[in-house]
A and B are shown apart, each in its own frame.
Chain A
Amino acid sequence: MFDTAMTELTFGRVWGPLIYLYGVGGIFFLAGMIISTRSKSLNIKTRNGKKWFKLLLFGYGWYLFIHTSLTLAALYLK
């Protein structure tokens, strides 16, 4: 009934998925940022465009922060 596979907390088990998520996911994110800015749909020369650009980067960092914090809590919060 429960997940009993690979309960040993190796580096690959703990950090592998996180690196994959933000690496492969990051490629899609980067592609989206490049296409949005190059097409001028996201115009970073305007104040509004800069605001959205920063928010998009913040969002990526925000989720990275959440997943990293939860991982560290799982390992070290007793």
Chain B
Amino acid sequence: MSMTIPWIVMVLYFILVMGFGSMFGRYTKSTADFFFGGRRFAWWLIAMSILATGVGSHSFVKYSAKAFQHGFSSTMTYMNDWFFMPFFMFGWLPLIYYSRVSSVPEYFQRRFNYKARFLATVALFFYMIGYISIGFLTIGKALQPMLPDFLNLFGLHITLIGDTGLMNIIIFVAIITGIYITYGGQTAVIFTDLLQGFILIFAGLLVLFLGFSYLGGFANFWHHLPEHFKLPLAHFNQPAGFNFVGIFWQDGIAGSIGFLFMNQGLIMRFLATRSVEDGKKAAAFNVLVILPISAIVVSGAGWIGHAIYQGQGIVPGIPAGIIPPTLDVDEIFTIAARIVATPIVFGFIMAAVTAALMSTVDTLINATAAIFINDIWLPAERVLIRRSNGSRLQKDDRYYLKVARWASMVITTVGVLGVLAFKNFATLYEAHGFFHSTLTPPLIVAIFLGIFWRRFTDHAVIWTFLGGATLMIVGATWPSIFITPFAQGSAMSGGKYIYISALYNIVVCVGVGVIVSLLTKPKTDKELEGLTIWTVDRARWRFKGGKPNDRPGEKVNLKYKIDDTGEFARFAREDMEKMSLDEGDLVYLCDSRAWMGGLKSVHSKAGKPHSEPGVVYITPEMEESALFTKKTRVVAEKEL
């Protein structure tokens, strides 16, 4: 197949995505907008935008390879997240939302102290940068098989093969990614991901159905797969490279907690929802509906590839050797899609997949910039202001927005350079596994115990990081002594346990945290107000600045007018009764066109009532922030 047509389609697709993302840059007016999209979006919009991030981060390339080798059990990692949903939906999500923390390290400072924040920042920063690098590497590996060996561009002779070629491809992709993340911010990311979420599902299912057609129907596809290949869960502890129990602990436990509790990109998506209730809905819909679909979407090419491999030379129309036995399994997605699709469709599929990976990377860049601003820049600046005795002043928000954009660019560059550290791993899966097993356990244990165990102390969190990490290094150095008792029959590969070491790492971190907690003095309940699940109601009080109003109320559709004199949204008394709204309650106003998903919306407090039913008075600042126009009808609802 000539690669010209697929590349034309891909370039057009990328231009479309960039244009779409940049269009939403005008909605970014502050750092809150840049990082959190102004906390305004509806659950369905966030749920769909999470799809592109989730699918991208786990990648078509990686899971198609596992699907090709091991069958339907490649879906395991997508379908083991529900166990932690009670913890997330009723613990972590309301805590971070109501306590208005901007990042995981900021929570560590409030729950523990600045030392814990520092350690969390360091760990999280490396984790995020590493993830960005792996994302770039995946994109490079996905695109490289489609490219010629060399490219002449504006007189430049650019190598596209080998390691140099891989880096050239990655640099090009990084420039494209940097453009709309830098100028768009979180709103651009959310809307770009929304578009890509739909396209990804379509592209993944398209490969699957084209594959069925290529094989002569679903019955033939099913017939070509061996029985054990069709089981949804892998063998309990064999082989070392892909077994159930290891992946359960590495991904189902450490990965699930890491993704839900530690992934700054995902956290920022949930903080961009208009309320905690919408965040819960987005989380539930994502795990119940989107993840099972995603599991099929990312694996389909691998299954089709396997069926073609089994049927080649036997089934009429499938030539022998179309999938060689010597192939690099990381290339199966590209190979299978190329076999079953026409050039235009192939170009579209590759564009969708590459763009999904870009979504993951841009989410991570945005999230890492948030950590940089909130956990490095601002604390450092506060120290300088304190030491300056008044000669240095706090800057305005535009300044921080500018810093955030520069930070995004620098992080993108560092992410590209980080590829050098990972490109020598045998597979992407190993590079990813390295991260999960070494950097996730201390952080997830510290977060988890911090939220759910009041007795967990400041000393214990430091020891969880330092002592836990030390014991993890000890385990990795002598795995047969320390990790084998946890291995449950899993074998080692190359002198180390690939997955089950996660169980050992979690156990030692929990062990250190619990022992040190029991030996040191805990904080008082008063000090922990609004910082653990046991006092989440206090966080709601603080969020509102008073007693939450939980009386059920209706939404009301209103016309808005400008009130230059007030500072809050003001409603007619009878509208307030319909909404069960009292003066001082938090209220959410959005464009009445539900399909906009809250893009044009604003939060406020309810001010003194007036006597014009069907009208809400808002300030000029609210009008500007919400991007309302004179024709806009507004739907208002009580928040708290």
Contacts and interface: CB of A to CB of B under 8 A. Distances in A.
Given A3-B242, A20-B248, A63-B79, A70 B71 contact: no
Contact of A36 (B83, B86, B226, B292): B86
Contacts of A29: 82-86
Contacts of A32: 83-87, 90-91
Contact of B228 (A12, A13, A16, A35): A13
Nearest to B93: A41
Nearest to A47: B552
B256 to A, nearest CB: 9
A68 B234 CA distance: 14
A9 B227 contact: yes
B233 A17 contact: yes
Given A7-B228, A9-B228, A74-B72, A17 B236 contact: yes
Interface string B526-570: 000000011011000000000000101000000000000000000
Interface stretch (B114-122, B123-131, B280-288): B280-288
Contacts of B466: none
A70 B232 contact: yes
A35 B82 contact: no
Nearest to B325: A1
A3 B561 CA distance: 67
Interface in B83-113: 83-87, 89-91, 94
A39 to B, nearest CB: 5
B261 interface: no
Given A28-B253, A41-B533, A59-B284, A21 B84 contact: no
- Chain B: number of interface residues, binned into ranges: 35 or more
Contacts of A17: 233-236, 244-245, 248
A70 B242 CA distance: 19
A36 B228 contact: no
Given A21-B248, A73-B230, A2 B82 contact: no
A46 B551 CA distance: 11
Contacts of A71: 231-233
B79 A66 contact: yes
A2 B68 CA distance: 8
A contact face: mostly helix, strand, loop, or mixed: helix
Given A67-B79, A74-B231, A6 B238 contact: yes
B contact face: mostly helix, strand, loop, or mixed: helix
A30 B329 CA distance: 39
B429 interface: no
B274 interface: no
B80 interface: yes
B232 A35 contact: no
Given A35-B91, A41-B91, A74 B230 contact: yes
Given A25-B83, A63-B79, A71-B231, A35 B533 contact: yes
A70 B73 CA distance: 10
Contacts of B242: 3
A63 B306 CA distance: 26
A75 B227 contact: yes
B400 interface: no
B222 interface: yes
Given A3-B239, A24-B248, A59-B288, A36 B91 contact: yes
Nearest to A59: B82
Q: Which of A7, A17, A52, A60 counts the most B-chain CB atoms under 10 A from its CB?
A: A17
Contact of A56 (B86, B245, B536): B86
A41 B536 contact: yes
Contacts of A48: 277
B452 interface: yes
Nearest to B451: A35
30 contacts: A1-B325, A1-B329, A2-B69, A3-B228, A3-B235, A5-B239, A7-B228, A13-B235, A17-B234, A17-B248, A20-B244, A21-B244, A21-B252, A24-B248, A29-B83, A29-B85, A32-B87, A33-B86, A35-B86, A35-B452, A36-B89, A36-B91, A36-B533, A52-B89, A59-B287, A63-B79, A67-B233, A70-B230, A71-B232, A74-B231
Cβ-closest 4 pairs across A and B:
A32-B86, A74-B230, A17-B233, A36-B90
Given A40-B537, A59-B287, 5 more contacts: A6-B235, A17-B236, A20-B245, A25-B248, A74-B232
Interface of B: 69-72, 79-80, 82-87, 89-91, 94, 222, 226-236, 238-239, 242, 244-245, 248, 252-253, 277, 280, 284, 287-288, 292, 306, 325, 329, 452, 533-534, 536-537, 550, 552
